[in-house]
Amino acid sequence: KGCRTDTALDLLAEMKAAGLQPDVITYSAAISACEKGCRTDTALDLLSEMKGRGLQPDVITYSAAISACEKGGRTDTALELLAEMKGDRLEPNVITYNAAISACEKGCRTDTALDFLAEMKGRGLQPNLITYSAVVKACYDAKIYVDALDKAREAVSMKVVPSMILMSSEVPKWDLHLLSESLSCMLLSDALLTVIDTRTHESQSFKDVFVITGRGLNTVGENGPVLKEKVPKFLNEVAGLETSAVEGNEGRFLITGETLQQWASS
């Protein structure tokens, strides 16, 4: 299970040298090791080799190979393997679809990612956090914010993604710590729209809101944390909402009640 790809491949070579014939389980484990070690070409070579030996890849084999392609940026190959798998009358599972959708996200194939989400639900499979994170990111990166927001809301309604965490305080605080960049931007926008709609209909004044970014989940880039830079930038440039830095605390920013009032009136 640890990332010991070279060791796994050495053991496979040793097994062959001893005259033992690898079976489907052995090849699947080796391909999975290649996936974890980002050895896409080797994974595909092993897949071809096992088929050349007359072995039929199963769902686990194909899922690992598709995931290897996703990690190696080989979107077209990943989709070809999925089609091949279906042609072999094997039923993709959640892991298979997650790998294919993630490959689409990395390969800027947003429409295909959305199609796979619909397809897996049509097959009675339950999308999970990995599924929705990839789909929302695909839409977000393509600047299709309507679809990104729709899928983020759907993920919350399905209880696979945490909703905005409103911490109890006289001054509202929204915590993004458990969310990725794309989910943070979408769910924060949704929460702000809900607040504006509620306050406007009830004729209530707007309060200041603190947004806690911290480092976020898988959002640390080469130059440090991402959320504290990207979320305010999204609100400023895309949503047209001004934010303010909080002196002495780089892990949060402020949206004033006055700013929210102006935004609601615009």
> What pLDDT score does 229 carry?
87
Q: How far is CA 92 from the centre of its chain?
A: 19
Residue 109: phi and psi, rounded to 5, are: -110, 65
pLDDT bucket at 69, cuts 50 / 70 / 90: very high
- pLDDT top residue among 205 and 225: 205
Q: How far is CA 195 from the centre of its chain?
A: 27
Structure tokens at 190: 């949704």
pLDDT tens, residue by residue, 86-115: 999 999 999 999 999 999 999 999 999 999
- Residues 15-38 have a mean pLDDT of 93
Q: How far apart are CA 258 and CA 25, in angstroms?
A: 62
pLDDT at 54 over 90: yes
Q: How far apart are CA 264 and CA 201, in angstroms?
A: 11
> What pLDDT score does 225 carry?
62
Q: How far apart are CA 201 and CA 220, in angstroms?
A: 39
The C-alpha R_g of the chain, in whole angstroms, comes to 23
pLDDT at 266 over 80: no
pTM above 0.75, yes or no: yes
- Residues 181-190 have a mean pLDDT of 91
pLDDT bucket at 213, cuts 50 / 70 / 90: confident
> What pLDDT score does 4 carry?
83
Q: How far apart are CA 178 and CA 266, in angstroms?
A: 31
- pLDDT top residue among 165 and 254: 254
**Which residue, among 117, 94, 44, 35, has the nearest Cα to 70 in the 3D structure?**
35
Tell me the HSE value of 58 on the side-chain side, using a 13 A CA sphere.
Answer: 8
pLDDT at 218 over 80: no
